[in-house]
Amino acid sequence: MDNYHVLHPIGEGSFGKVFKGRRKFSGQIVALKFITKRGKTEKDLSNLRQEIDILRGLHHENIILMLDTFETPHEFCVVTEFGQGELFEILEDDKNLPENEVRKIAQQLVFALHYLHSNRIIHRDMKPQNILITANGTVKLCDFGFARAMSSNTIVLTSIKGTPLYMAPELVQELPYNHTADLWSLGVIIYELFVGQPPFYTNSIYTLINLIVKDPVKFPDNMNPDFKSFLKGLLNKAPQERLAWPDLLNHPFIRETSEEKLARESRTNKYLKWAGIEHPLSDSAPKKQAASVSEGSDIWQRYETMASDEAGATRLRHDAQFLDRVMSLFQMNADFRTAKDRKNNIISALRAIILIVSKAKLEDPNQDILKSAALTSGLIGLIKRCIRLDQGSPAPVLTDMVSEIVRAAGLIARATFNKSLGIEPNMVKGFIVLVPQLLYYPNGPGSNCNIDQAMTLLQVNTVKSVGIILNQAGLIPLRCIFVYTDIIETNTLHEICLLIKQGISQGVSSLHKSAIQAIQVIIHPSSGDVIPFPWKRGGRNELVDDYNANFHFFENLRQVVWKAFNQFDWLQCLVQIFNSDDEGNVTKLSVLRVLLQMMRISRDAVDVVLPHKGAMNLLYGLISNPDPVLASISLQILTHMLKQIAAYKRKNLDLEVDVGYLLESFEENCLVQESYIIAMSSACLLSEILQSGSPKHVDMIMQRLSTPASLSIIVEILTPRNNRQEEVKRIEGSGYGCLFMGFSDGIILLLQRMLAKSIANDNVREFIMGLNQSGVPALIVTLINGLNAKCEISPKGLISLLTFIHDAIYEQFRVLLQTLIHDGIIKVLASYLKESQLASIQEWPVVCGGGPSAVNLIIAQVLRIFNLPHSMQNYAKELEQFNKECADSEIITSTLNIMKFLSREHLGIAVSLLSKMIVNTDGSKPFAQQFVNAGGMNIISQYNLLAQDNPTHLLVDILSLISQLARLQRENYELIHNENIYGDLRKLIEHRESTVRSKVCNLIGNICRHSAFFYDYILEHGLIACAINCCKDPDRTTRKFACFAVGNAGFHNQKLYEHLRPCVPLLVDLLSDEEEKTRANAAGALGNLVRNSDLLCMDLIRHGALKQLLEVVRSDQAQSQSPRQVALFSIGNLCVYPQCKEEFERLNIRSVIEGYLHHKDQQVMKYATRILQKLGN
């Protein structure tokens, strides 16, 4: 601070205050930013120092220059050049600018960003407040993650403080991003300069984010085509399609004229002299002091010598002058075939670069010459020149030089890779297109190239460089689709596959090893981030959308390899490569991973491998290999083979696995953390053997693993632990971003299939006792509660777990159901039925166990579990609490909402649960009300549930449900009527299945229970006549409910009496039916037919109804007294009418009735007294 006068404050931000200052003794005006340390963690301070270091190394006329920094115990001070005003102030004052002024600002911002991005720096916070304008109109970019405004009192947007106005769609969605996020922000700023406000502008942050992600940009009519094209390119919502380098620099809107370019170069030179930079390196990293190498003819040998130790290599890595000389050397217009000195110089330069890559420390990322785009493009240009020079020559002489160039390019790509920035597409495209020619240098595939030592080395170096690039692509595959596309379209992958055969036939191990390793990183990437499993996520995941959209590219890679392999004896070659010397098992792992992918891609691959004794013995032997990854991959290969055998019923093919050893290995490795992955892979194979293995092997597995001790071991390994998904990636690969399985999937499947076998073997009781003793109920609670994005269970694993839970409860595992209820798991299971959760599973890739089929199965299994307590008498005690949990979870509403996800065959499970909840539940009104409130009646027509060809059980359930709604309250009548189900009922009442006919009759009875609302409708649709006809149905239950239907059809008024006349003789006959309830219903119906008028009295008398009713009173043997009670009541109704009284007197009614005046049944006594009162004296 002693060097500066602090003048006055000019701004204040979240990090601290900014003051205008003057350097003592010079008069230089500066900005001093004081950043307090208070409240910051050590990590915050470390990050801050890193950001200061980044800014210190930047020297560009359009980037604010850091002049000085110092640190006190309480604060940092950053001294920068002083900017006169903010771009934000221009927007405030002028609102918008003419296009020519906007273009000038756009040009300078593009140059500033190109400089930053060339040095692998992303600004991340581009906005008008971070752009300063000097007095002469020069734009200055500032605030690299910590420096707020440097020259203004107003530093935040006044309209929407702290909003993401300038943030790219990927940033507001918190998705991975790269340098193109800055380019979106640039587009928003330039748009605002011209229009007067950003393209998306609102006071609601939520709405703003929605607009940024979804809404198209609207461009004004007065924008010229080049300007509009420029903004359209920047404001592309897809980062990979955004206008970017180098196309952005050459866009017509900002492309410089020759006069502008000269003016800029003049300004740049003045600026660099002012900034004290002696040897500028345009658009690359600022330089440190040049490494000292004297000029002379042997300069490149001296550079090579200098790079051979760490100190010298490190100095060269940060030496811009060295890079300048390299680029000049690369660009010399010479025929390297004849100019041997030039060729040797280039080879020495390349070797120096290779030494720099391998030996140098990276002291300053901003001065790393290896990051220079010019260097990589220079190398590719050099390769092209060599090919041109050597093409057509019978004896190419530049092979050794090309080999060094290719090696250097690959090593630079590896040393400079930045995951957040991704792979530079121009470099990759430039190199990949040359690969086929490099593999058969110089004329390409099909030419007669001389495969000498130099050519072989070139092939090896080429394949290794391809492997480096593809290994990087495997880390970020969704952002590198262009890489995968290029290696297919250029035939690169196909040619690399064929090199395996060449390497074997020529005995060049380095060639076939590098080839198999490259193929492995292409079709079985095992590093890189993966998308978390789709649990408790909510909303769409654009990464999953991208994966689904691009999966065919990944699938094509494996298909290309398989087709190429079929051109030679690929399996014998792989076995030979595996058995060769291999340091660190790298090649062995590659062979197995490639073989695993072949098992996945083609069932024909199984037919190739199974008869091959060498390959099979190798796989069987690897099961006991001490390397856990080798052992695990071999187990997974055998598992996939067994799946293929079972799927295509190859009865004549089987595996000769040592099941005894496999069981022993499984149990041992369950208890050793370092070997969990072997236990996981063993479980996968054991579960497949249980499914399709020989009875002998199945019995061995069941006997060994069914004991409480063994089950306890399974519980132990299923207990969730950290980082085991990383182990899965080592075996199964990263799946290009979506894992094929969770760590626990195979073990859960093993447990589920063991339960299924115990059921089939009729020893399930003992097995369930073992499950209980080993703590399985508590484990299931842990697994269900722990289902989140970071868990070890994929959708496939969840389906197995739900199947296990269902089967166990079905087999009377009472403790499990009690535990699920007590620990709140019913509510958790119900949460799986939320639409947001199901949508996440549905979008999850099908190949990884997601998609509509997974959704369908998960819903079906949850609903089956919820059906069980209602279906099984043994769970009567648990039912009340179970129903309470279901009611609290609004299971009715959820079930209605998710029916759209179900297949036709599984709709019945949902309807069954709805029916059981509403029909069979004590206090079912809350469930019925949930159903009504959620618009449940709509499902009838929406899913055509009353269609005649539906399964009988579905028809019975939906008819029962509607019937219950009608029975519960009169208010539901209109809802039922609005569904217009009469036509369906008319067909169903004549259904071939008696259970359906009886349910229709019961429904008719219930819709006539509370009022005459439906009388006209059932008459109009012929349902009265059908119900009457059902009174003589051969099925006793149908007859019972038919009586109920016609009885209620006459209860409320006499409107239907005339139409009911034909049923009188049928009802009389049914008074002597074998079914007690039918007799009661018939007696009640006859009473209802005279309840409202005497229209049918004479019919009843004529058909002997009065006599038969008295007979029921006199001699019915039902213990419940129900037929007698109803008959007495109906006789009381008949006694109102004189003609009936007269008939009864003739039948000596008093002597019959008086015998019941003192009956033990109070209702009988009451109704007998009522009759005598109506008969009078």
DSSP assignments along 767-799, one per residue:
HHHHHHHTTHHHHHHHHHHT-STTSS--HHHHH
Sequence letter at residue 623 = I
Q: What is the mean pLDDT of residues 632-645?
A: 94
Q: Which residue has the tokens 């005459």?
A: 1012
Which residues line the annotated binding site for ATP? 33
Task: Read off the tokens for 122.
Answer: 């992303």
**Angstrom distance (rounded) from CA 171 to CA 188:** 14
Residue 351 CB coordination number (10 Å): 19
Give the model confidence (pLDDT) of 687-729 as tens digits: 999 998 889 999 999 999 999 999 999 999 999 988 899 999 9
Give the model confidence (pLDDT) of 314-355 as tens digits: 999 998 889 888 988 888 777 778 788 888 889 999 999 999
Sequence letter at residue 337 = R
Task: Check pLDDT > 50 for residue 628.
Answer: yes
Res. 287 pLDDT band, cuts 50 70 90? very low
Task: Read off the tokens for 1047.
Answer: 């009885």
992 DSSP 8-state letter: S
Which residues line the annotated binding site? 33
Give the model confidence (pLDDT) of 496-547 as tens digits: 999 999 999 999 999 999 999 999 999 999 988 899 999 987 667 888 999 9
Predicted pLDDT at 284: 39
**Angstrom distance (rounded) from CA 756 to CA 492:** 49
Task: Read off the tokens for 913.
Answer: 């649960």
Task: Check pLDDT > 60 for residue 93.
Answer: no
Give the model confidence (pLDDT) of 1015-1045 as tens digits: 999 999 999 999 999 999 999 999 999 999 9
The closest of 1108, 1064, 1065 to 1089, measured between CA atoms, is 1064
Task: Check pLDDT > 60 for residue 285.
Answer: no
Task: Check pLDDT > 50 for residue 156.
Answer: no
β-partners of residue 334 are: none
Predicted pLDDT at 493: 97
Predicted pLDDT at 499: 96
Task: Check pLDDT > 50 for residue 670.
Answer: yes
Distance (Å) of CA 489 to CA 124, 432, 465, 483: 35, 10, 18, 10
Res. 733 pLDDT band, cuts 50 70 90? very high
The closest of 379, 396, 378 to 387, measured between CA atoms, is 396
Q: Are 66 and 78 in contact (CB under 8 A)?
A: yes
Predicted pLDDT at 176: 74
Backbone phi and psi for residue 20, each to the nearest 5 degrees, phi listed first: -80, 140
Distance (Å) of CA 875 to CA 672, 812, 815, 887: 40, 9, 11, 18
Give the model confidence (pLDDT) of 1075-1086 as tens digits: 999 999 999 999
Give the model confidence (pLDDT) of 236-278 as tens digits: 988 888 888 778 988 999 888 888 888 877 777 777 666 555 4
Task: Check pLDDT > 90 for residue 898.
Answer: yes
157-188 in b/e burial notation, b at 16+ Cβ within 10 A? beebeebbbbbbbbbbbeebbbbbbbbbbbbb
Mean pLDDT of the chain: 88
Of 9-13, 136-140, 915-919, which one has max mean pLDDT? Answer: 915-919
The closest of 560, 571, 575 to 608, measured between CA atoms, is 571
Task: Check pLDDT > 50 for residue 472.
Answer: yes
Predicted pLDDT at 849: 94
Percent of the chain topping pLDDT 70: 93
63: helix, coil or strand? Answer: strand
**Angstrom distance (rounded) from CA 840 to CA 401:** 53
Q: Which residue has the tokens 């748009």?
A: 191
The closest of 650, 717, 653, 656 to 685, measured between CA atoms, is 656
The radius of gyration of the chain from alpha carbons, rounded to an integer in Å, stands at: 42
**Angstrom distance (rounded) from CA 595 to CA 589:** 10
Rounded to whole angstroms, the maximal C-alpha distance in the chain is 146
Predicted pLDDT at 1128: 97
Q: Which residue has the tokens 């060295």?
A: 322
Residue 975 CB coordination number (10 Å): 17
**Angstrom distance (rounded) from CA 1106 to CA 1037:** 25
Handedness of CA 1038, 1040, 1046, 1048 (dihedral sign): negative
Q: Are 1008 and 1052 in contact (CB under 8 A)?
A: yes
Predicted pLDDT at 426: 74
8: helix, coil or strand? Answer: strand
The closest of 929, 899, 901, 930 to 912, measured between CA atoms, is 899
Q: Are 195 and 96 in contact (CB under 8 A)?
A: yes
Task: Read off the tokens for 398.
Answer: 């530049």
Predicted pLDDT at 648: 75
Q: Are 354 and 411 in contact (CB under 8 A)?
A: yes
**Angstrom distance (rounded) from CA 800 to CA 746:** 9
Task: Read off the tokens for 1034.
Answer: 């051969």
**Using omega within 30 degrees of 0 as the cis cutoff, is the peptide bond preceding 626 cis?**
no
Percent of the chain topping pLDDT 90: 63
Q: Are 293 and 299 in contact (CB under 8 A)?
A: yes
Q: Which helix (H) or strand (E) holds 16?
A: strand 16-23
365-389 in b/e burial notation, b at 16+ Cβ within 10 A? bbbbbbbbbbbbbbbbebbebbbeb
Backbone phi and psi for residue 347, each to the nearest 5 degrees, phi listed first: -60, -40
Task: Check pLDDT > 50 for residue 875.
Answer: yes
β-partners of residue 140 are: 132
Strand order in the sheet with 85-86: 85-86, 131-133, 139-141
Residues 6+ apart with CB under 8 A from 775: 712, 715
Give the model confidence (pLDDT) of 923-967 as tens digits: 668 899 999 999 999 999 999 999 999 999 999 999 999 999 999
The closest of 178, 122, 118 to 371, measured between CA atoms, is 118
**Angstrom distance (rounded) from CA 921 to CA 866:** 13
Res. 85 pLDDT band, cuts 50 70 90? low
Task: Check pLDDT > 70 for residue 231.
Answer: yes
Predicted pLDDT at 97: 83
CB under 8 A, 24+ apart: contacts of 1150-1158: 1150/1175, 1152/1110, 1152/1113, 1152/1114, 1153/1113, 1153/1128, 1156/1113, 1156/1128
**Angstrom distance (rounded) from CA 466 to CA 759:** 54
Q: What is the pTM of this model?
A: 0.74
CA 168 to chain centre: 22
Sequence letter at residue 1133 = N
Handedness of CA 376, 377, 378, 383 (dihedral sign): positive
Predicted pLDDT at 164: 80
What is the helix, strand, coil percentage profile of the chain, to 5? 65, 5, 30
**How crowded is the C-beta side of 789, counted as CA atoms within 13 Å?**
9
Task: Check pLDDT > 50 for residue 18.
Answer: yes
Res. 94 pLDDT band, cuts 50 70 90? low
The closest of 1028, 1146, 1135, 1043 to 1086, measured between CA atoms, is 1043
Q: Are 1087 and 1050 in contact (CB under 8 A)?
A: no
β-partners of residue 35 are: 16, 76
Q: Are 86 and 132 in contact (CB under 8 A)?
A: yes
Predicted pLDDT at 690: 94
Distance (Å) of CA 19 to CA 152, 153, 484, 950: 10, 10, 52, 80
Q: What is the mean pLDDT of residues 963-972?
A: 94
Task: Read off the tokens for 906.
Answer: 């599984």
Looking only at the bridges linking them, the beta strands covering 75-81 and 66-71 are antiparallel
Backbone phi and psi for residue 67, each to the nearest 5 degrees, phi listed first: -100, -30
97: helix, coil or strand? Answer: coil
Residue 766 CB coordination number (10 Å): 11
1031 DSSP 8-state letter: T
The closest of 704, 706, 824, 720 to 756, measured between CA atoms, is 706
Task: Check pLDDT > 80 for residue 161.
Answer: no
